[in-house]
């Protein structure tokens, strides 16, 4: 099934069951706690919080999402994109656990001839929040599966909340067993083997305090119980298309093919290269979708994220050996795959492409300037008989010239030099601590820009990504 067909079947299934179709909101909804929409429920928040009355009891949507905290996983796991589409069905005080379980199970297991996805039951494992006996009983009743096929997980995985005061509740997931090539039998922490593709949130509790994912106070029951589900379109696509991961699905792989053609390297031949190919496919798409929704590259917040995504895509192409302008070759390929769903990409192409290509040109200048400094530094090291570029030099290349550490590492190794990564990391940490102290001093003013900085810093492979508060929890 191609991605468009999976999407159609999802929407049709829930429309048949009385859900009102709701178009995807922009990635840039105005929410003080979120940089980007990161889940299907975000546009419905006012309904879940009881601030507004929904015009329907049941809704279905396919929502554009961006999750910057997942950036480090892109290309390394089989399942994380910075951009993805979340299919969701929602009940506002209407059906609850039983209805949600029935509707999901039906679509997942119904034969393809009948409009379903035709997953083999023997590969499916529902999970519940340990202790949610109601859900356990309903899963057994609806699916006929034995008790030991239903996995009990703790609140870290299977309790959802979004800040207090506010609603919370246990979740159930549906996992697909991809077989022993992806991890040991029965080891549900092997997440690329037991792949989570659907998360069902049963909003039932009123929370008075949330101290961590595992430590919260339930103060009562919601007067109206709600359902919020999230199903990863790309995940079902790769499971049904017989490919290895989400970057190889019909709407993403053509970018990898183009990158192969440009670089002359083959996808599937070398692990490091493969990760780069996948990063290219993902970042090209997420940048394009962000620009389409109105983001421009910049040094703060959303613009900073976009800048880093574009630069990472360009840099990955360079590391794959392609030094010409890459985005004019790659972006149109991604556009042609995504425009079937998002026609704005065609209508607004002039603006989108101009912004993206200009950023690549700016980055190329940065690289040129940085490369000159880099060459000087390596010549110096060699002339003095050394074999290592100092941490201070790597840091100044990063800090002053925006030179990412892994580019420095790669180029140094081409020159037969190592880099004092520890020294570099120490300087980065010191800088981050200074930024944090600054932010604390300025607390109450603007949101912590160092968090966005951290996103960028996280691009260097040895630098830890510290993330920022996401209000919608990622169960």
**Which spans of this chain sit near ligand ATP (rule: CB under 6 A)?**
67, 70, 79-81, 84, 86, 191, 196-199, 230-232, 234-235, 474-475
Min dist CB 414 to ligand ATP, Å, is 32
234 binds, among Mg ion, ligand ATP, none (CB under 5 to 8 A by kind): ligand ATP
81 binds, among ligand ATP, Mg ion, none (CB under 5 to 8 A by kind): ligand ATP
67 binds, among ligand ATP, Mg ion, none (CB under 5 to 8 A by kind): ligand ATP
> Pairing between strand 166-177 and 159-161?
antiparallel
Q: Would you put residue 270 in left (φ > 0), alpha (ψ -120 to 50) or beta?
A: beta
The reply to whether omega before 378 is within 30° of 0 (cis) is: no
Min dist CB 151 to Mg ion, Å, is 12
Q: Number of helices (H) and strands (E), helices first, in the chain?
A: 16, 11
CA–CA separation, 182 and 176 (whole Å): 12
Which tokens hold the place of 286? 């997420």
Min dist CB 356 to ligand ATP, Å, is 21
Q: Which CB sits closer to Mg ion, 246 or 377?
A: 246
Q: Which CB sits closer to ligand ATP, 104 or 377?
A: 104
235 binds, among Mg ion, ligand ATP, none (CB under 5 to 8 A by kind): ligand ATP
Question: Which of 222, 230, 200, 206 is CA-nearest to residue 93?
Answer: 222
285 binds, among Mg ion, ligand ATP, none (CB under 5 to 8 A by kind): none
Residue with tokens 């790597």, as numbered in its chain:
394
Q: Which CB sits closer to ligand ATP, 157 or 359?
A: 157
Min dist CB 196 to Mg ion, Å, is 5
CA 214 to chain centre: 23
CA–CA separation, 316 and 237 (whole Å): 25
CB-facing half-sphere around the CA of 407: CA atoms within 13 A:
26
Question: Which of 301, 297, 296 is CA-nearest to residue 446?
Answer: 301
Min dist CB 407 to Mg ion, Å, is 27
Min dist CB 39 to Mg ion, Å, is 10
Q: Which CB sits closer to ligand ATP, 2 or 348?
A: 2
Residue nearest to ligand ATP (CB): 232
Which tokens hold the place of 456? 């960028």
Q: Which CB sits closer to ligand ATP, 171 or 411?
A: 171
Number of Cβ atoms within 10 Å of the Cβ of 379: 11
79 binds, among ligand ATP, Mg ion, none (CB under 5 to 8 A by kind): ligand ATP
Q: List, in order, residues 6 or more apart from 295 with CB less than 8 Å away.
A: 27, 28, 302, 303, 305, 306
Pseudo-torsion of CA 339, 260, 351, 309, nearest 10°? 100
134 binds, among Mg ion, ligand ATP, none (CB under 5 to 8 A by kind): none
- 122 by Cβ neighbours in 10 Å (0-12 / 13-18 / 19+) ranks as exposed
84 binds, among ligand ATP, Mg ion, none (CB under 5 to 8 A by kind): ligand ATP
Q: Which CB sits closer to ligand ATP, 67 or 265?
A: 67
Min dist CB 246 to Mg ion, Å, is 13
Q: Which CB sits closer to Mg ion, 104 or 317?
A: 104
Min dist CB 282 to Mg ion, Å, is 15
- Residues lying near Mg ion in the complex (CB under 5 A): 196, 199, 474-475
Q: Which CB sits closer to ligand ATP, 45 or 265?
A: 45
- 406 by Cβ neighbours in 10 Å (0-12 / 13-18 / 19+) ranks as middle
Q: Which CB sits closer to ligand ATP, 159 or 395?
A: 159
Q: Which CB sits closer to Mg ion, 38 or 263?
A: 38
Backbone angles phi, psi at 117, to 5 degrees: -100, -15
Min dist CB 4 to ligand ATP, Å, is 17
Min dist CB 431 to ligand ATP, Å, is 28
197 binds, among Mg ion, ligand ATP, none (CB under 5 to 8 A by kind): ligand ATP
58 binds, among Mg ion, ligand ATP, none (CB under 5 to 8 A by kind): none
282 binds, among ligand ATP, Mg ion, none (CB under 5 to 8 A by kind): none
Q: Would you put residue 209 in left (φ > 0), alpha (ψ -120 to 50) or beta?
A: beta
Q: Which CB sits closer to Mg ion, 371 or 473?
A: 473
Min dist CB 6 to ligand ATP, Å, is 12
CA–CA separation, 355 and 344 (whole Å): 15
Q: DSSP letter string over 227-268?
A: EEEEEEHHHHHHHHTT-SSGGGSTTTHHHHHHHHHHH---TT
What angle (nearest 5°) sits at the alpha carbon of residue 198, between those of residues 196 and 204?
A: 120
């Amino acid at each position: 099934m191609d991605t468009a067909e999976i999407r159609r079947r999802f929407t049709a299934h829930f429309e048949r069951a009385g859900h009102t179709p709701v178009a995807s909101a922009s990635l840039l909804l105005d929410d003080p706690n979120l940089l980007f929409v990161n889940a299907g429920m975000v546009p419905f928040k006012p309904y879940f919080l009881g601030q507004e009355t929904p015009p329907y009891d049941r809704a279905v949507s396919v929502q554009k999402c961006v999750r910057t905290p997942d950036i480090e996983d892109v290309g390394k796991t089989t399942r994380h994109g910075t951009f993805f589409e979340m299919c969701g069905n929602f009940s506002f005080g209407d059906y609850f656990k039983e209805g949600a379980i029935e509707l999901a199970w039906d679509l997942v297991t119904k034969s393809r001839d009948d409009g379903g996805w035709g997953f083999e039951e023997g590969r499916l494992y529902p999970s519940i929040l340990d202790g949610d006996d109601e859900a356990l009983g309903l899963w057994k009743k609806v699916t006929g599966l034995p008790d030991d096929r239903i996995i009990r997980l703790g609140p870290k995985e299977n309790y959802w909340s979004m800040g207090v005061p506010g609603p919370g509740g246990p979740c159930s997931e549906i996992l697909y067993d991809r077989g022993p090539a992806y991890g040991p039998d029965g080891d549900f922490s092997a997440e690329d083997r037991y792949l989570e593709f659907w998360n069902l949130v049963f909003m039932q509790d009123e929370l008075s305090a949330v101290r961590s994912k595992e430590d919260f106070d339930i103060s009562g029951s919601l007067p109206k119980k709600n359902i919020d589900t999230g199903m990863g379109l790309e995940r079902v696509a790769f499971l049904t298309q017989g490919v290895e991961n989400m970057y190889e699905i019909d709407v993403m792989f053509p970018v990898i093919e183009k990158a192969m053609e440009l670089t002359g390297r083959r996808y599937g031949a070398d692990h490091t290269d493969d990760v780069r190919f996948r990063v290219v496919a993902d970042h090209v798409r997420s940048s394009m979708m962000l620009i389409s929704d109105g983001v421009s590259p910049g040094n703060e917040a959303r613009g900073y994220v976009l800048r880093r995504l574009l630069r990472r895509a360009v840099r990955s192409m360079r590391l794959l050996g392609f030094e010409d302008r890459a985005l004019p070759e790659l972006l149109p390929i991604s556009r042609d795959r995504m425009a079937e769903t998002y026609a704005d990409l065609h209508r607004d192409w002039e603006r989108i492409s101009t912004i993206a290509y200009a950023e690549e040109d700016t980055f190329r200048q940065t690289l040129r300037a940085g490369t000159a400094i880099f060459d000087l530094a390596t010549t110096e090291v060699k002339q003095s008989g050394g074999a290592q570029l100092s941490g201070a030099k790597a840091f100044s290349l990063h800090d002053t010239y925006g030179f990412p550490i892994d580019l420095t590492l790669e180029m140094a190794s081409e020159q037969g030099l190592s880099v004092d990564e520890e020294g570099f990391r120490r300087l980065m940490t010191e800088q981050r601590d200074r930024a944090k102290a600054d932010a604390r001093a300025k607390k109450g003013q603007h949101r912590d820009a160092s968090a966005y900085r951290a996103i960028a810093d996280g691009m260097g492979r040895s630098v830890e990504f510290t993330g920022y508060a996401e209000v919608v929890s990622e169960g």
